[in-house]
Amino acid sequence: TVTEERLLQLSCFINQDVKYLLTGLKNRLEEQITKHSSTLDRDAIFTKSTRLSRLPAYLTIQFVRFFYKEKEKVNAKILKDVQYSMILDLFDICTPDLQKRFMPTREKIKLAEDAKLDRERAKKLGETVIEPKNLTRLSTSFPDDIGSNNSGFYQLNAVLTHKGRSSSSGHYVAWVRRSQTEWLMFDDENVTPVTEEDVLKLSGGGDWHTAYLLIYGPRTIEYEDKTNEGASGESTVTAMDTTASSNGART
């Protein structure tokens, strides 16, 4: 049986096996359910698999960190450390049709990464490196679907954290990307510059600020299209990755 469902966000459910964001997302998309089988005439275990057939330009992911404790009558917090990255790749949890549509853009992104590595190697060897000029930004959405994501790649743009032990108490703080290398922490009326490393330390594991919501946006690539009309008539594309360093969907 195949059904379609529209989601406004993705949820990362946390258990003892979840150490990384993508693991929590995948676990939610592969569920075992028990229901009556008319063929077997008894209850049987079925696997419910969910795949995403569309990705939005901006994606919200919630860490499901609160659960109700009946004895204490409170929504207690799961403090477990669940790590996330600046660059998120959701290719593996998308439908085969969507994965095929991703490929042209993903190939250009790979070209950007390879070109960047080549320049870095050349610089370390003391070689002269010519940086790309007249850069053009690669589109981040499909031409027939403005507001979509056309690669499966995302860049982290903001984090909402909670500090405290229950949902009814504590303090919420926003951490927002200002540029490719700068972040700002918004703590009520106080705004403080922070580093990318500070933001990645919000993954949990103690009473410090813990990530509750992640907001991912398009991963942007700028490229220089240079056509060399030599004997072979081949054209080459030089690309540059302009997102941070690597480390709403429809089903």
Confidence band, pLDDT 50/70/90 cuts, at residue 225: low
- The per-residue DSSP string of 95-137 comes to -HHHHHHHHHHHHHHHHHHHHHHHHHHHHHTT-------S-EE
Residues 6+ apart with CB under 8 A from 242: 137, 180, 220, 221, 222
pLDDT in tens, 53-75: 999 999 999 999 888 777 777 77
More confident residue, 8 or 215: 215
**What does the mean pLDDT of the chain come to?**
85
Identity of residue 241: D
Strand residue runs (E) in the chain? 10-13, 30-37, 42-49, 59-64, 66-69, 74-77, 87-89, 136-137, 153-163, 171-177, 183-187, 190-194, 210-218, 221-227, 235-241
Residue-wise burial string across 47-80, b where 16 or more C-beta atoms lie within 10 A, e elsewhere: eeebebebbbbebbbebebbeeeeeeebeebbeb
Distance from C-alpha of 34 to C-alpha of 39, rounded to nearest angstrom:
14
User: How far apart, in Å, do the first and last CA atoms of the chain sit?
Assistant: 14
Of the candidate ranges 45-49, 66-70, 215-219, 244-248, the one whose mean pLDDT is the lowest: 244-248
2's CB contacts (< 8 A; 6+ apart) are none
Residue 213 pairs in a beta bridge with 62, 160
167-224 pLDDT, tens digit per residue, is 777 899 999 999 988 999 999 999 999 999 999 999 998 888 999 999 999 998 887 6
Model confidence band, residue 246 (pLDDT cutoffs 50, 70, 90): very low
Q: With H, G, I as helix, E, B as strand and everything else as coil, classify residue 221.
A: strand
Q: Is 123 left (phi over 0), alpha (psi -120 to 50) or beta?
A: alpha
- Assign a CATH topology to domain 10-241: Cathepsin B; Chain A (3.90.70)
DSSP-derived letter for residue 86 is S
With contact defined as beta carbons under 8 Å apart, do 154 and 59 qualify? yes
Tens digit of each residue's pLDDT (9 = 90 or more) over 111-149: 888 888 888 899 888 888 887 777 788 999 999 999 999
pTM of this structure: 0.81
